[in-house]
Amino acid sequence: GGERRFLVRVSFMEMYDKKLYDLLGSKEERGVALELRGEDSPWVDKLTQREAKNVHAMMEVLEEGRKYQHHRCTDMNQHSSRSHSIFTVIVESSAEAEGGRRQIRLGKLNLVDLAGCEHVKQSGVEGDGMKEATSINTSLSALGNVINALNKQIKQPHKPTHIPYRDSKLTRVLQDSLGGNSKTLMVACICPGAKQMQDTLSTLRFAERVTLVQNKPKINFDPKDGKLCELEAEIARLQDLLAAAPRNPPPAQVPEVALAKKQDLEENQVQILEALANIESKLVNTGAEDKLKETLFKEKSARLDEANQEVYTLKAEKIRQ
């Protein structure tokens, strides 16, 4: 393959009070809850993504988003986090593959900061603070249930197991990180104080359950690449049909029969070219927004124009006849 190129983008969001918020959006956008889309690999609609050319740029984005996270002073922590935050790094790499087209590989790193489980009696929160604590604890409980279900699935691989990802937006967002095509690393934060012994034991038990979850990650190819291969194969097939169809049919003894055959062949050529143009159009639209495929799709656009022009010429000739 040719030289490999990379594109790195980052996003930063938080889950506060059971809702998702964009930490990199404008002031107006930060106040609007985001919606989850998709089934097996959920994604967050309208989430801001920033291109990061180096580590320094990435850290600047991280610090910018941290300014807008929700915090509250409690009896246990003067700067208590009131939300779960997810900083995502998306890496796309492209290299020239067989046939001259570029093949895209995708990688995603989710850095998740989970708010700690909170005991209201110890933290002394009331009103909105209590509501925040309830939301935090509910989502952490949902995460624990997902981990338990994944462990059960591993122990009983031949028995269908329901994984309750939909019980919380937190587990929905992390679905492909927990039980999908991924590797997962958990860092458990504990306190050595005797007063926190029960919380420490609970955290360690949870971390132990997480270590039992085993995934088998594979290389992620951009789904568009598969579509590109499919469309290009169809283009090749149509072009072969077009090349095999003679433009001038052999002379026949009866002029009317020869004319009918000629018209049938021309009609067939027009249909093939229209199908080719339609396939080319789909090919162009498949990745028009992908920066790394800009050159490829310019070439496809040119081929589409040529196909459309040939269709127009054939139709014009038929009208003149």
Which residues have a Cβ under 8 Å from the Cβ of 107 and sit 6 or more positions away? 90, 91, 92, 93, 220
pLDDT winner (highest mean) among 5-19, 22-36, 208-222, 266-280: 5-19
Confidence of residue 283 (pLDDT cuts 50, 70, 90): low
Question: Angle at which helices 255-286 and 294-320 pack, to 10 degrees?
Answer: 160
Q: Distance between CA 242 and CA 317 in Å, rounded?
A: 17
**pLDDT, tens digit, for every residue of 65-89?**
999 998 888 877 788 888 999 999 9
In 3D space, the residue among 8, 78, 15, 81 whose CA is nearest the CA of residue 49 turns out to be 8
Distances (CA, A) of 19 to 12, 70, 300: 14, 12, 42
- 80 token code pair: 């208590």
Q: Are 143 and 122 in contact (CB under 8 A)?
A: no
What pLDDT, on the 0 to 100 scale, is given for residue 54? 94
Give strand pairing partners of 16: 19
Which residues have a Cβ under 8 Å from the Cβ of 12 and sit 6 or more positions away? 22, 23, 24, 61, 62, 64, 65, 85, 86, 87, 88
Q: Distance between CA 157 and CA 152 in Å, rounded?
A: 8
Q: Residue 24: is its pLDDT beyond 90?
A: yes
Confidence of residue 289 (pLDDT cuts 50, 70, 90): very low
Instruction: Give the mean pLDDT of the chain.
Output: 78
**pLDDT, tens digit, for every residue of 162-186?**
999 999 999 999 988 887 778 888 8
Architecture of the domain spanning 5-220: 3-Layer(aba) Sandwich (3.40)
- 317 token code pair: 């000739």
285 versus 81: which is more confidently predicted? Answer: 81
280 versus 207: which is more confidently predicted? Answer: 207
Query: What angle (nearest 5°) sits at the alpha carbon of residue 28, between those of residues 24 and 29?
Result: 45
Q: Residue 47: is its pLDDT beyond 60?
A: yes
Q: How many other CB atoms are found less than 10 A from the CB of residue 227?
A: 14
What pLDDT, on the 0 to 100 scale, is given for residue 263? 63
Q: What is the DSSP letter of 188?
A: -
Q: Residue 247: is its pLDDT beyond 70?
A: no
The CATH 3.40.850.10 portion of the chain extends over 5-220
Confidence of residue 192 (pLDDT cuts 50, 70, 90): confident
